[in-house]
């Protein structure tokens, strides 16, 4: 069956370090993958999208990689700050002809001052 | 420019009751998707509306129904509420041909 896995354990890192979050998927062939940030009690906020033919995408301190062979995406936050503390969700499209996004369970990141 | 808005913010119902949640999409957006997010889980796709029609549906029973109005706003209706329907209900809007979804703040539903 189709599955998306994100590390359910919270990730604690020191301020200034690089946070790396993982999104693995099985039995999908997504055309693109998205990362969202979600704060407690709020809706997800779109951060980055990477397509299947792109290896890497950057936006300010954020970097996303997409390895369709490994079926994995890595999400990096460099020079992390306490304000980066949140839950980060990855989402995949179901492929052409569908409009449904499948979300992972999210990884909670805590940046310690 | 107002983002996606949802009402109410919180709601308490009892088992067997019916509930209606409302969503106004971001200005210029004509597509609305609804998601259910249980505590500690990722959002689960319920359905998507475009041009006042349900375009796609996730694995939710017929107790979950929706509607989209000519002004693109949308409602989510849930009948015969179960305890397991307690969750954060999220609305997301987008423009056809773009992949980015803009989420509202959600409606927190508690079923007792």
A47 touches chain B (CB under 8 A): no
Q: Quick one: average pLDDT of B52-68?
A: 94
Q: Nearest C-alpha of chain A: how many angstroms from B66?
A: 16
The answer to whether residue A32 scores a pLDDT higher than 90 is no
Question: Among B71, B89, B67, which residue's Cα sits nearest to residue B13?
Answer: B89
Task: Return residues 71-90 of A near B (CB < 8 Å).
Answer: 89
Within 13 Å and on the Cβ side, how many CA atoms surround A74? 12
**Mean pLDDT of all residues in chain B?**
94
> Per-residue pLDDT tens for A37-76?
999 989 999 999 999 889 899 999 999 999 989 999 999 9
Report the distance separating Cα A64 and Cα A66, nearest Å.
7
Do residue A46 and residue B104 have CB atoms under 8 angstroms apart? no
Report the distance separating Cα B34 and Cα B45, nearest Å.
6
Q: Quick one: average pLDDT of A75-98?
A: 89
User: Contact B6/B16 with Cβ under 8 angstroms?
Assistant: no
pLDDT of residue A28: 78
Write the residue in A42, A100, A102 that is nearest to B56 by C-beta. Answer: A100
Helix, strand, coil content of chain B in percent (nearest 5): 5, 50, 45
């Amino acid at each position: 069956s189709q599955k998306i896995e994100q590390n359910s354990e919270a990730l604690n890192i020191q301020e200034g370090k690089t946070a790396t979050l993982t999104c693995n998927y099985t039995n999908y062939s997504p055309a693109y993958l998205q990362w969202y940030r979600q704060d407690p009690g709020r809706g997800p906020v779109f951060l980055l999208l990477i397509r299947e033919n792109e290896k890497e995408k950057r936006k300010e301190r954020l970097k996303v990689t997409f390895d369709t062979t490994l079926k994995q995406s890595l999400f990096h936050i460099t020079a992390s700050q306490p304000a980066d503390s949140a839950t980060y969700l990855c989402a995949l499209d179901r492929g052409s002809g569908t409009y449904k996004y499948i979300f992972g369970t999210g990884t909670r990141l805590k940046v310690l001052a | 420019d107002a983002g996606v808005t949802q009402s109410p913010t919180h709601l308490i119902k009892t088992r067997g009751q019916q509930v209606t949640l409302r969503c106004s999409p971001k200005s210029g957006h004509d597509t609305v998707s609804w998601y259910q997010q249980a505590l500690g889980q990722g959002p689960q796709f319920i359905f998507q509306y475009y041009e006042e029609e349900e375009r796609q549906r996730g694995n939710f029973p017929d107790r979950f129904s929706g509607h989209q109005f000519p002004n693109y706003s949308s409602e989510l209706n849930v009948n015969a509420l179960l305890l397991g329907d307690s969750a954060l209900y999220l609305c997301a809007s987008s423009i056809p041909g773009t992949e980015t979804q803009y989420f509202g703040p959600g409606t927190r539903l508690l079923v007792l």
